[in-house]
């Protein structure tokens, strides 16, 4: 399994409960190969994983939408965008820049333009950049971003990606965000905190990826405590919720034993200077 194939799985999870995720377009990415992995994953790792992904997507969808309506955000830069469909779920005046590994971006770009031309998706202002966050990417992304007006207010999203990076790559990408953002811009990020390491579901998750020979930059997966975010000097954490907190707000009934849930933390940061 290649890391981008986890993006197909994430999309399929969102399609499994559209009322919860509010993502009515993710089903376009569904395919038989992913269905086999998704079924195995739900069975072997945690049956709650479809809902945890729906709730995560919904959190960022609602936050970006709210910030857009409050005129605080009009550009979304999605780092490790995978096959997420935010551009089509948000107001059409928002500009979207989607960044992922070149092979993911090339594939997504072709599919999206085909679906737009066939009327399956509405037209949106989307730009694609291929880059690898485990290599030297800063100069290249900066040069690509120069083509866009800097006046826009950005929301950077890092959803489902940190897990695959190591600590120094994680620090490096946040330093890069600081470089490209202005005061009043936002970051939305997702990570597991260290307490997940003791959960059996997390061991099962690691075993699942190991058994599928998932290639990442490092064998073990990154977890980050709140301090990682709180200690970012130019940013303040304005919201921190997890799957359980946000499920309450959405009236999402949790069916699985809490110890079998891969609980992720959702963070919203605002740049202060």
Ligand X SMILES: C[S@@+](CC[C@H](N)C(=O)[O-])C[C@H]1O[C@@H](n2cnc3c(N)ncnc32)[C@H](O)[C@@H]1O
For residues 134 and 234, which CB has a smaller minimum distance to ligand X in the complex? 134
- Using the rule CB under 6 A, is 6 a contact of ligand X? yes
Report the nearest approach of ligand X to the CB of residue 80 (Å).
3
Report the nearest approach of ligand X to the CB of residue 57 (Å).
7
Quick check: 31 and 8 in contact, CB under 8 A?
Answer: yes
Q: Which of 21, 81, 191, 252 contacts ligand X by CB under 6 A?
A: 81
For residues 102 and 184, which CB has a smaller minimum distance to ligand X in the complex? 102
Report the nearest approach of ligand X to the CB of residue 13 (Å).
9
Q: Which of residues 143-162 bind ligand X (CB under 6 A)?
A: 159-161
- Using the rule CB under 6 A, is 206 a contact of ligand X? no
Quick check: 180 and 142 in contact, CB under 8 A?
Answer: yes
Q: Which of residues 20-79 bind ligand X (CB under 6 A)?
A: none
Closest CB to ligand X: residue number: 82
- Using the rule CB under 6 A, is 164 a contact of ligand X? yes
For residues 37 and 234, which CB has a smaller minimum distance to ligand X in the complex? 37
The two tokens of residue 60 are: 């960022």
Quick check: 44 and 9 in contact, CB under 8 A?
Answer: no
Binding flags for ligand X, 208-247, as an x/- string (CB under 6 A): ----------------------------------------
Q: Calculate the alpha carbon distances from 177 to 70, 140, 141, 198, 227 in Å.
A: 22, 14, 11, 31, 17
Report the nearest approach of ligand X to the CB of residue 5 (Å).
8
Report the nearest approach of ligand X to the CB of residue 54 (Å).
11
Quick check: 164 and 86 in contact, CB under 8 A?
Answer: no
For residues 162 and 261, which CB has a smaller minimum distance to ligand X in the complex? 162
Q: Which of residues 85-104 bind ligand X (CB under 6 A)?
A: 100-101, 104
Binding-residue total with ligand X (CB under 6 A):
19
Report the nearest approach of ligand X to the CB of residue 273 (Å).
28
For residues 52 and 181, which CB has a smaller minimum distance to ligand X in the complex? 52
Residues that bind ligand X (CB under 6 A): 3-4, 6-7, 10, 80-82, 84, 100-101, 104, 132-134, 159-161, 164
């Amino acid at each position: 399994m290649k890391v981008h194939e986890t993006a197909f799985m994430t999309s399929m999870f969102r399609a499994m409960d559209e009322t919860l995720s509010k993502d009515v377009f993710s089903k376009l990415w569904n395919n038989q190969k992913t269905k086999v992995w998704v079924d195995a994953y739900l069975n072997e790792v945690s049956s709650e994983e479809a809902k945890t992904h729906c709730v995560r997507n919904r959190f960022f969808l609602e936050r970006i939408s709210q910030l857009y309506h409050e005129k605080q955000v009009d550009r979304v830069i999605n780092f490790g965008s995978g096959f997420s469909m935010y551009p089509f779920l948000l107001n059409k005046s928002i500009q979207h820049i989607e960044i992922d590994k070149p092979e993911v971006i090339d594939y997504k770009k072709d599919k999206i333009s085909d679906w737009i031309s066939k009327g399956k998706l509405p037209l949106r202002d989307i730009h694609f950049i291929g880059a690898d966050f485990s290599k030297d990417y800063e100069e290249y992304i900066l040069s690509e971003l120069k083509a866009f007006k800097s006046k826009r207010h950005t929301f950077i999203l890092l959803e489902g990606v940190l897990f695959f990076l190591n600590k120094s790559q994680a620090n490096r990408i946040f330093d890069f965000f600081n470089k490209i953002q202005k005061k009043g811009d936002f970051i939305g990020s997702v990570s597991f905190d260290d307490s997940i390491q003791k959960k059996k579901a997390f061991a099962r998750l690691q075993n699942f990826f190991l058994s599928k020979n998932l290639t990442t930059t490092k064998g073990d997966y990154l977890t980050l405590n709140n301090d990682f975010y709180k200690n970012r000097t130019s940013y303040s954490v304005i919201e921190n919720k997890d799957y359980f907190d946000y499920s309450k707000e959405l009236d999402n009934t949790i069916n699985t034993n809490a110890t079998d849930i891969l609980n992720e933390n959702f963070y919203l940061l605002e740049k202060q200077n």
